[in-house]
């Protein structure tokens, strides 16, 4: 017997980001038998890409990674299929956190502020408006709100043939300035170029701007509170500053985990191993044994579609743009199409002004080598003139680079069954699992689905 009745089953979770913490939390919640969980985190903090740091010049926080949460709870209303479950929203409520909605519809092209279809018609003419309406209708026909909600799972209906790029779809469906508007609208959500992603992912990212499909919200007081609350509730041994370097098959189906706390090698054995690191960190871990290393290499190849972000966040003495920019964010045509967040609309610390530029895809990758002060200058210069004199109110700028940190075709080109996504070698190494947003939709909702799936499975094995 692999899991013995005389001692609690041991579980190593590799990665202390949202995925690792959610897995630990759910395992603990679902298991009726005691578990010994060790959570390895290579850095000195848990949270991974959910990060709410503070500026130096003033006690003002901002989001450096994941900015908003996706709310599917209205998805499917009126479809006859019932309303969707929203596991992430439920988890956030269960943890006692309050949330506020976020929203924004405007696209800024040069000095033209396009807040709605009427603005588009007045700047570009009726033909452009009609063409956008047709594009929208066609996109909705391909993917209904309910299909959108189900698109991460196996019951999903394919929206196009696998392998066709979103670029080719756009080329066939829309032209002229209307195409530029659509591209600007979605570039920062995609984190890649339309040529490097699928029709499915492109349409999902386009349709998420339609409130019938999804709404956005943020946690009051900063998104990192999700991490703090999870951490407080998880009874695991937290091994911070302890990168896992190697995972090897051990005796009786167990695994040996080799890590390096404070530069010193350490090896521990576990009944289960759950690798909850993002795709770009899988390559930093050696998987021992010929069979496991080949299986893991195939897994990495399957999901190898790197996408990029770079965030520039600037603190101002006051939110000088209010009155013109009223939403939580808008899309700018600068930096190849970026999202401009009014971070201070989250009211983390009222009075100050904070703007955040989310650069995506190729532009983010190329900008990653540019020094911070140059990027901050470019961001200040990118603002439409009508917003006011940004330099006059400037206090401090911060840059966070997330190169290769997200996925351009989450779920893979041809999605696999949920079982196969989460087990790289089910035949022989059935107690080694992977958890990741790259297996679903590259979001926190996706990583929670993944954690939920794996925790169900481990608990079923234990019972």
Query: Residue 20, CB half-sphere, CA atoms under 13 Å: how many?
Result: 32
How buried is 198 (Cβ within 10 angstroms: 0-12 exposed, 13-18 middle, 19+ buried)? buried
**Cβ–Cβ under 8 Å, residues 273 and 14:** yes
Check binding of 405 to ligand FAD (CB under 6 A).
Answer: yes
Of 27-35, 46-54, 75-83, 134-142, which part binds ligand FAD (CB under 6 A)? 46-54
As measured in angstroms, the least distance from the Cβ of 406 to ligand FAD is: 5
Rounded CA separation 76/141 (Å): 14
Of 13-21, 72-80, 141-149, 288-296, which part binds ligand FAD (CB under 6 A)? 13-21
Rounded CA separation 240/280 (Å): 20
Q: Cα angle at 164 between 162 and 170, to 5 degrees? A: 135
Instruction: Please pick, from the candidates 139, 444, 458, 462, the single residue that binds ligand FAD as defined by CB under 6 A.
Output: 444
Total of residues contacting ligand FAD (CB under 6 A): 40
Instruction: Please pick, from the candidates 13, 20, 72, 348, the single residue that binds ligand FAD as defined by CB under 6 A.
Output: 20
Per-residue contact string for residues 253-292; x = within reach of ligand FAD by CB under 6 A: -----------------------xxx--x--xx-------
Instruction: Please pick, from the candidates 24, 66, 292, 339, the single residue that binds ligand FAD as defined by CB under 6 A.
Output: 66
Q: Among all residues, whose Cβ is closest to ligand FAD?
A: 17
- Looking at the DSSP bridge assignments, the partners of residue 38 are 12, 237
Instruction: Please pick, from the candidates 309, 316, 329, 357, the single residue that binds ligand FAD as defined by CB under 6 A.
Output: 309
Residue with tokens 């351009």: 408
DSSP state, 401? E
Rounded CA separation 77/259 (Å): 48
Residue with tokens 């521990």: 268
Nearer CB in complex with ligand FAD: 16/222? 16
Per-residue contact string for residues 143-182; x = within reach of ligand FAD by CB under 6 A: ----------------------------------------
Rounded CA separation 49/278 (Å): 10
Residues that bind ligand FAD (CB under 6 A): 14-20, 40-43, 48-50, 65-70, 243-244, 276-278, 281, 284-285, 309, 311, 402, 405-406, 436-437, 442-445, 447
């Amino acid at each position: 017997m692999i899991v013995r009745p005389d001692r609690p089953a041991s579980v190593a979770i590799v990665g202390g980001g949202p995925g690792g913490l959610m897995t630990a939390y759910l395992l603990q919640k679902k298991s009726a038998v005691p578990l010994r969980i060790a959570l390895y985190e290579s850095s000195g903090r848990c949270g991974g890409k959910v990060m709410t740091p503070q500026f130096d010049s003033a006690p003002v926080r901002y989001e450096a990674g994941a900015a908003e949460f996706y709310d599917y709870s209205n998805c499917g209303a009126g479809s006859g299929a019932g309303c969707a479950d929203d596991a992430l929203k439920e988890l956030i409520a269960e943890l006692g956190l309050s949330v506020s909605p976020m929203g924004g519809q405007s696209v800024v092209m040069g000095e033209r502020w396009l807040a709605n279809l009427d603005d588009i018609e007045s700047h570009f003419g009726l033909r452009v408006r009609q063409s956008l309406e047709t594009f929208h209708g066609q996109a909705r026909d391909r993917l209904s709100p309910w299909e959108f909600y189900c698109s991460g799972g196996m019951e999903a209906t394919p929206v196009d043939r696998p392998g066709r790029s979103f670029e080719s779809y756009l080329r066939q469906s829309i032209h002229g300035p209307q195409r530029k508007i659509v591209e600007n609208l979605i570039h920062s959500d995609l984190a890649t170029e339309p040529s490097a992603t699928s029709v499915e992912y492109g349409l999902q990212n386009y349709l998420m701007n339609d409130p019938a499909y999804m709404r956005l919200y943020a946690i009051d007081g900063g998104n990192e509170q999700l991490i703090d609350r999870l951490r407080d509730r998880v009874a695991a041994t937290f091994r911070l500053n302890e990168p896992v370097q190697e995972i090897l098959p051990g005796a009786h189906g167990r695994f040996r985990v080799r890590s390096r706390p404070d530069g010193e090698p350490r090896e521990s054995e576990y009944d289960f191993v759950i690798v909850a690191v993002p795709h770009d960190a899988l390559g930093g871990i050696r998987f021992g044994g010929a069979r496991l290393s080949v299986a893991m290499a195939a897994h990495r190849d399957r999901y190898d579609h790197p996408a990029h972000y770079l965030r520039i966040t600037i603190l101002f003495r006051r939110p000088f743009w209010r009155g013109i920019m009223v939403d939580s964010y808008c899309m700018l045509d600068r930096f190849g199409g970026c999202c401009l967040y009014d971070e201070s609309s989250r009211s983390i610390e009222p009075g100050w002004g904070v703007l955040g530029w989310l650069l995506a895809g190729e532009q983010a990758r190329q900008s990653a080598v540019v020094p911070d002060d140059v990027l901050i200058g470019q961001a200040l210069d990118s603002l439409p003139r009508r917003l006011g004199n940004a330099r006059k109110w400037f206090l401090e700028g911060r840059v966070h680079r997330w190169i290769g940190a997200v996925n351009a075709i989450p779920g893979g080109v041809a999605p696999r069954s949920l079982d196969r996504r989460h087990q790289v070698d089910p035949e022989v190494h059935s107690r080694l699992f992977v958890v990741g947003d790259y297996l679903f939709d590259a979001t926190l909702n996706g990583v929670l689905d993944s954690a939920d799936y794996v925790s169900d499975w481990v608990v079923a094995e234990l019972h």
